[in-house]
Amino acid sequence: MPFPIFRVMVSSTFLDLTHERKAVVEALRELAMPLGYLDVAFTVVDLQGGASASPPLEVCLAEARRSDILVTIVGLRYGWVTPTGLSITEREYDEASRNGKSVLAYMKKPESIVLPEHRDTELALIDSLAAFKRKIDSERKRDVFSTAEELRGHVIRDTLTWVLSLPQVADSLGKPDARNQFSELKTYLEAFQSGDPMRAQEIATSRRFELDMQRFGMENLHQSLLMDLLQLGSFAEPTRVSDPATRARLLMEYVEAFGNRPTASIALQQAATLIPSLNNPRASFALARALAKAAVREHRYDIASAHLKTMLRHARQTNDVHVLAQARRPIGDFYRVQGKHERALRWYDKAVKDLCAMVEICPFCLSSAFEACGTEYRALGRCSMANDRFGKALMVAQAIPDRQRSGEALESLAEQFITHGDLRTGVAAYVWACRLVSEAKPAQEGADLGVWLGDVAARFGQERVLAVLSEIEDKAEGIVLEALAPYKLEDLPEKLGIKPSVYGDHW
C-alpha cells in the first residue's frame, strides 16, 4: 500500500482571522510526527501567502476540489463577495461539499472580543454571513470557538478523529506494533464524540496516556486535548467537565503538567475560584503550591512566601507524610532561586527524610528530592555529596523504572563530572541520558546529543569530544556506574524497599 498523503485546506477570511489560521496550520503540522506512526501524512494548503498566475478565485476553487479535508473557519466578517454574490469562503465550502470532500467547520462566537473592523456592520454582509452559517448548520455538525487556542484544540481533536476512522488506520490499530498505542487515543476521541466527558477525562489524565503522548511526540497535542476538554479559552460556562470537584482536580493536573504555558494561568485562576468552597485539604494544598510556584517564577517572593505558609498548613491538615514531603520541595525551590542554598538544602533533606519514613516510599518524589539535594551540594562546593545524591537519584529512577527521571539525574551527573575535568565519564553520562530521553520524550531538546555536547565541544574542542564519543560506543552505562562505584549505591533501592511501579515508564 502506498503511504497516503492527505491535503488539508484552510479556508477563511484573511485579515480578521490571521491568528486563527496560523494556529490551525501549526496544529496540522504538529500532527506530522504522530501521523507518521500510522503511515499517514498531511499536506497543509494555506493560500494566505504565495503567488499564482491564475485568478485568485480559480486557484481557491481548484484547491478545494483537490483537497481531502476543508477546514472552514467562519468569523464575524463575510469577506470579499465574488460576482455570484457569495464570498470566496462560501464558494470554497460549496465546491468542497459538491465534490464529496470532508469538511470541518468552526464558527467564531458572536460575543467574542475582536477589533471593530473585524466585525461586519453593513446589513447586507451581516445577512449573507447569517445565511452562510444557516447553510452550514443545515448540512453538518460544526463547533464554535472564542480564541485561536480554543480553535487549535478543536482542529487537533477532529482531524485525529478523521484519521483514526480511516479504514486502513482502523484495521492497523489492532496489530501488535507501535500503532496499537493509538487505540487508547481512539477510545478517548470516541468517548468525547459520544458525549462521555468523564470517560474521556479518565483516559486523558492516566499515566500511560500521558507517557504515550510524550513518546510519540504528541505532548503539545495532549495539552490541546486537555485544554479542549476543559474548554479553556472559552468565555462561556463549561459544559463538558462542570462538577466543581472533578473540574478542580483536572484543572490542577493541567497546571501541574503545563505550568509554563500561558493557558495554565487561566486554569489556575479557575481552580482558585473553585477549590476554597470544596473544603478539601489536599485540593487546597495543591492550589497553594501551584500559586507559590507561579509567584516564584515571577520573582514575587513576598506573595510566594504567603502561599507557601498556606500550603504547609494544608499539608499538615492531610496527616499524610507523602503530602508533607511534597510540600518541602517548593519551599526548597523558593530558597534556591534566591541563592540561599543552605536553607534550600535543609528543606530538600527534610523531604528525603519524610519520604524514607513512608511505609511504601514514593520513588518518583524520592528521586527528585535526591537530585534537588545534589544540586544544592554542588552549589555549596561539596562535590562528593553532590555525586552521592545524583547517584541515588539515578538508582531510584532506574528502579521505578522511569526514563525521563533517569535522564535528568544523568544530566546532573554529566555536568558534575565535566566541571571537574572528567570528560570521558561526563560524555558517557550524556550519551546514556540522551538514549533514555529520546525513547521517553523524542521531541524534547534533551533527545539531541548535539545540544548537550555543544558547550562541552566549545570547552574541550570538537575533535577531542568526537574521539571520546568514538571510544565510548555502547559502554556509556558501564562507565557511569564504574564512576559511582565508590559510593556503594547498587543496592540502595533494595535497602529502601523500592520496587518497580505500575505508574512507571512501562519499559
Q: What is the pLDDT of residues 322-338, one digit of tens each?
A: 999 999 999 999 999 99
Query: What's the rounded mean pLDDT across residues 265-290?
Result: 93
Q: Work out the pLDDT band at 320, boundaries 50, 70, 90.
A: very high
Query: What's the rounded mean pLDDT across residues 374-394?
Result: 96
Q: Where are the domains of the chain?
A: 5-147, 173-278, 401-507
Whether 298 shows a pLDDT value over 70: the answer reads yes
Whether 21 shows a pLDDT value over 70: the answer reads yes
Convert the pLDDT of each residue in 73-83 to its tens digit.
Answer: 999 999 989 99
Q: How many residues does the chain have?
A: 507
Whether 507 shows a pLDDT value over 60: the answer reads no
Whether 503 shows a pLDDT value over 80: the answer reads no
Taking the C-alpha atoms of residue 343 and residue 282, their distance in angstroms, rounded to an integer, is 26
Query: What's the rounded mean pLDDT across residues 38-61?
Result: 71
Please say whether the beta carbons of 477 and 432 come within 8 A. yes
- pLDDT confidence of residue 54: 46
Convert the pLDDT of each residue in 172-202 to its tens digit.
Answer: 665 545 445 566 677 777 776 676 777 777 7
Q: What is the DSSP string of 136-180?
A: HHHHS--EEESSHHHHHHHHHHHHHHHHHTSHHHHHHTTSSSGGG
Q: Which residues pair with 73 in a beta bridge?
A: 106
Higher-confidence residue of 459 and 373: namely: 373
Whether 458 shows a pLDDT value over 90: the answer reads no
Convert the pLDDT of each residue in 97-136 to its tens digit.
Answer: 999 999 999 999 888 878 888 999 999 999 999 999 999 9
Single out the residue of 253, 271, 278, 149 nearest to residue 201, CA to CA.
Answer: 253
Whether 315 shows a pLDDT value over 90: the answer reads yes
Taking the C-alpha atoms of residue 104 and residue 97, their distance in angstroms, rounded to an integer, is 11
| Ramachandran angles phi, psi of 441, nearest 5° | -150, 70
Whether 90 shows a pLDDT value over 80: the answer reads yes
Query: What's the rounded mean pLDDT across residues 396-405?
Result: 93
Whether 406 shows a pLDDT value over 60: the answer reads yes
Report the CATH number of the 5-147 domain.
Answer: 3.40.50
Q: Which residues pair with 7 in a beta bridge?
A: 43
Q: Work out the pLDDT band at 89, boundaries 50, 70, 90.
A: very high
Whether 450 shows a pLDDT value over 50: the answer reads yes
- pLDDT confidence of residue 387: 95
Q: What percent of the chain has a predicted confidence (pLDDT) above 90?
A: 52
Q: What is the pTM of this model?
A: 0.73
Average pLDDT of the chain, as a whole number: 87
Query: What's the rounded mean pLDDT across residues 308-312?
Result: 97
Residue corresponding to grid cell 489556575: 268
